[in-house]
Every structure is written in structure tokens, then in C-alpha cells.
């Protein structure tokens, strides 16, 4: 794989950019691999990458029923933060955030990580108490956050109205090293690195069955033939329960659409990420000038990616008091992603009831920020059979009542 650099760009300019090689290969599937990972989104590709980088396992196929990064990885609002209350959550999200900081250099691919800072507004006294508590927890966890007052919020985000009649801003939980990254670039960077290690990325390859023998996985049936493997990773977000059913077990997951939208592009006016959980909306500005706006999940289980008009109205109405300028912007486009929700709103990184099948799912509405940490933990679990980062997120916690309840701790699942 040729390295990308300013010198490579200059050389290609003289050659009319005809000499660039493909970023990753598109081979036909082989009959057998040591590891098959279902799902070529950020989490699946990161798992494959760290299997090769950290554990030397390169006989790996990453199979995807659609196109690479075409699921939730390409359908999110790109927020990266680690200011969670529960220790296991803070550990894996902080691992991910720290890996994001150097990911462009490591992959030799610009993922456009922007540590612009993330603030979570407190607009009720209850929220203010909760976020002060989170600051103390984060200090013990080694996560850099602080409580800031309304005037500091206004300094960081001048377009905000902090004196709203219903929900005035009382302060915010501020993580200065949080931010955003380019979602597509994260998937493409991992894919390029995986392909360079000799792994096969196979698109347009839908799993139609999971083969087992004596309680152990032996391979998968796909629309492009049979593929045998010794270990199988299911990393398919909202479709995890569908594949689990193929293997003969159930998961404590429900799937629903999470919707988001972007406005028409405008001049730079906001260089931080703002989350307002009381009204349930969050917003940042993209490099192209669009205001990236997100809200909550649909109130019913579904697999649609089209979105709905009532959700646009609810989300924009929630934010417009805090950001009056939104009332004058036109919407450019809207989309939905199928998120996988557990009862405690924390992920599952675990062995499954079938020997050789490993699960990485349940990230709900906050999966993008976790991609590097998730891949690191999942790869360690698949390679060694145990991962300190993954251990608290085992499937058995639901049977044991050992929940990691971030829905109560954070008041929101993002």
C-alpha cells in the first residue's frame, strides 16, 4: 500500500491523478478463514484491524450485505465523547477517544478528527446536580471534564440563548477534548489498513444462515457461497437479533430508527458540539457549514431508514428556544439509522451461547464514538478469550442483574 502524503499528491498532480491505486481490494470470498466478521461498518472493520495489528491474526474476512460503511457508520452525527458516569462505560469510551486522537497518523488516512469540545447543557436543577456528580466521577476515572457556568457556555457558543423562558442554561458538563470525526473516513481508513494486511473485505455478501456442529460454529452461508471459519464475529448493530436467531439464540435487544438532519450550509458560527438533553436535541456544525442536528429514537421498533416529518418538527422545536437562529434555516436532508438498544443502554461485547460466536452490539445511539475502543476490546476477546475492557459488558449480566445503567446515569443514551 502506497503511503498518502503531500509529496504523493504533488506527484499525482503531474500525472493527472491517474496513478492512485484502489484503497482496498474487492476479492472473491475464499472457502475458509480463521475469522469471519459480519458487518463492514466502523466496529467490524476496527475489530478486524486490531486482530491484525495487536494479535497477528490476518486470515480474516469482513463481509457486508450492502456497501462498506453504508449502515450506521454513515448515518450518525459523528460526536465523540467519553464523559460517562459508570466506570466500565468511561473506560471503553475514553480508550476510544484517546485512539481517535492519533488515528489519522496510525492509519495514514485523514479521519478529520476535530477535538472541538463537547458540552452537555444543564437546563434543570436536576441536570445540574447530575453533571456535577459526573465531573467528580470523571476525575476519579481519569477523564478530563469540568463543570462550567452559563457565562462560560455563552463564551464558547455565542449563538446560544442562555436565558430561555422555559429552559434557561444553568451550566454545562464540558469535555474540551471531545469532538467529532468524519464518519465515512473512519470506515475507509480502517478498510484500507485491513486490506493492506491481506484481509478480505467482501461487499454485497449477505449472510443467509449460520452453520454449527456440536454447539460450535463452523461457518456461514451467504449469497456468494459457503464460507467456513473457526471464529465468527457478529457486528451488525440493529440487525444483531436477526443473525442471533439464525444461530439459535435470542438477544435482549430491540431495534429502532434514530433520526437526524442537516441544514443548508452557512458561514462558520459554532465550533463546539452542544447536547441539550432536557429538550433532547444536539447540534454541531460540519466542515461544509451544515448544522448537524439530532434527536431521539422513534418510539416504536422498526427498520426504516427514511425518517419521518413529525420527528423533524419535534427535534427542531426542542432546539429552537436555545438556538433561535434555527428558525431561519432550511433543511437540506434527513436520514435514519437502525440502532440496537439494550435494557440498560450499554453495549454487549461478549461470547455467545454458541462456541466460537462473538457478539459486539447494543451500542444504541452512541456507537460511533466507541469505534476504536470497541474494535480493540472485541479483537482482544476474539483472540485471547478475555478482554478487561469487554468483561463488564458480557451477555450474562442480564441474567445476573449486573446492569451498567447509563440510561439512568446520563439521563440519555447518546
At residue 233 the predicted structure's pLDDT band, cuts being 50, 70 and 90, is very high
Give the list of residues 6+ apart from residue 16 with CB closer than 8 angstroms, or none. Answer: none
pLDDT, the chain, mean: 93
Return the top range by mean pLDDT from 37-41, 258-262, 322-326: 37-41
**323, pLDDT greater than 60:** yes
Residue 369: which of 141, 146, 202, 178 has the closest Cα? Answer: 178
Q: Which residue has the cell 436555545?
A: 322
State pTM to two decimals: 0.95
Looking at residue 411, its pLDDT comes to 44
CA distance 64 to 41: 8
Residues 349-361: what's their mean pLDDT?
97
pLDDT in tens, 142-168: 999 999 999 999 999 999 999 988 889
Looking at residue 413, its pLDDT comes to 44
128 touches 150 (CB < 8 A) = no
Query: For the chain, which domains are there?
Result: 27-78+183-252+344-410 (3.50.50.60), 118-176+255-341 (3.30.9.10)
Looking at residue 308, its pLDDT comes to 75
Q: Where are the alpha helices (DSSP H) in 21-175?
A: 42-55, 87-101, 103-107, 125-141, 150-156
At residue 317 the predicted structure's pLDDT band, cuts being 50, 70 and 90, is confident
Give the list of residues 6+ apart from residue 222 with CB closer than 8 angstroms, or none. Answer: 29, 63, 205, 206, 207, 208
Residues 116-139: what's their mean pLDDT?
95
Give the list of residues 6+ apart from residue 127 with CB closer than 8 angstroms, or none. Answer: 121, 170, 277, 278, 411
**266, pLDDT greater than 80:** yes
Residue 184: which of 71, 294, 62 has the closest Cα? Answer: 71
**91, pLDDT greater than 60:** yes
pLDDT in tens, 278-314: 888 899 999 999 999 988 787 778 888 777 777 788 8
- What is the DSSP secondary structure assignment for residue 269, as one 8-state letter? -
Residues 192-219: what's their mean pLDDT?
96
Which set of grid coordinates corresponds to residue 181? 470525526
Task: Tell me whether strands 60-63 and 171-175 are parallel, antiparallel or unpaired.
Answer: unpaired
Residues 19-38: what's their mean pLDDT?
94
**393 vs 405 pLDDT, higher one:** 393
CA distance 133 to 137: 6
**412, pLDDT greater than 70:** no
Amino acid at each position: 500500500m502506497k503511503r498518502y502524503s503531500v509529496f504523493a499528491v504533488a506527484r499525482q498532480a503531474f500525472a493527472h491523478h491517474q496513478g492512485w491505486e484502489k484503497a482496498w481490494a474487492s476479492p472473491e470470498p475464499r472457502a475458509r478463514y480463521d475469522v469471519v466478521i459480519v458487518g463492514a461498518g466502523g466496529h467490524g472493520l476496527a475489530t478486524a484491524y486490531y486482530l491484525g495489528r495487536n494479535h497477528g491474526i490476518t486470515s480474516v474476512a469482513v463481509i457486508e450485505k450492502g456497501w462498506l460503511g453504508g449502515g450506521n457508520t454513515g448515518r450518525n452525527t459523528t460526536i465523540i465523547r467519553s464523559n460517562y458516569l459508570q466506570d466500565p462505560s468511561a473506560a471503553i469510551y475514553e480508550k476510544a477517544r484517546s485512539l481517535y486522537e492519533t488515528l489519522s497518523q496510525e492509519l495514514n488516512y485523514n479521519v478529520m478528527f476535530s477535538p472541538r469540545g463537547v458540552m452537555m447543557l444543564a437546563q434543570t436543577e436536576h441536570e445540574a446536580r447530575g453533571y456535577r456528580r459526573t465531573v467528580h466521577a470523571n476525575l476519579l476515572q481519569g477523564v478530563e471534564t469540568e463543570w462550567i457556568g452559563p457565562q462560560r457556555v455563552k463564551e464558547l457558543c455565542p449563538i446560544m440563548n442562555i436565558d430561555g423562558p422555559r429552559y434557561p442554561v444553568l451550566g454545562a458538563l464540558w469535555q474540551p477534548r471531545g469532538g467529532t470525526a468524519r464518519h465515512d473516513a473512519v470506515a475507509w481508513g480502517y478498510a484500507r489498513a485491513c486490506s493492506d494486511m491481506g484481509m478480505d473485505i467482501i461487499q454485497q455478501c449477505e449472510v443467509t444462515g449460520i452453520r454449527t456442529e456440536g454447539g460450535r460454529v463452523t461457518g456461514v452461508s451467504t449469497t456468494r457461497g459457503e464460507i467456513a471459519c473457526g471464529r465468527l464475529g457478529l457486528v451488525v448493530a440493529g440487525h444483531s437479533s436477526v443473525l442471533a436467531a439464525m444461530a439459535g439464540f435470542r438477544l435482549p435487544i430491540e431495534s429502532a430508527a434514530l433520526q437526524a438532519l442537516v441544514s443548508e450550509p452557512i458561514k462558520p458560527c459554532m465550533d463546539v458540539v452542544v447536547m441539550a438533553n432536557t429538550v433532547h436535541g444536539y447540534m454541531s456544525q460540519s466542515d461544509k457549514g451544515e448544522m448537524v442536528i439530532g434527536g431521539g429514537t422513534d418510539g416504536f421498533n422498526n427498520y426504516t431508514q427514511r425518517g419521518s416529518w413529525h420527528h423533524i418538527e419535534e427535534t427542531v422545536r426542542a432546539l429552537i428556544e436555545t438556538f433561535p437562529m434555527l428558525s431561519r434555516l432550511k433543511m437540506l436532508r434527513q436520514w435514519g439509522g437502525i440502532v440496537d438498544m439494550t435494557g440498560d443502554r450499554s453495549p454487549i461485547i461478549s461470547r455467545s451461547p454458541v462456541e466460537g460466536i462473538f457478539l459486539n452490539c447494543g451500542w444504541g445511539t452512541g456507537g460511533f464514538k466507541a469505534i476504536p475502543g470497541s474494535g480493540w476490546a472485541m479483537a482482544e476477546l476474539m483472540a485471547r478469550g478475555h478482554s478487561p475492557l469487554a468483561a463488564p459488558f458480557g451477555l450474562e449480566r442480564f441474567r445476573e442483574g449486573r446492569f451498567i445503567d447509563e440510561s439512568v446515569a446520563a439521563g440519555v443514551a447518546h
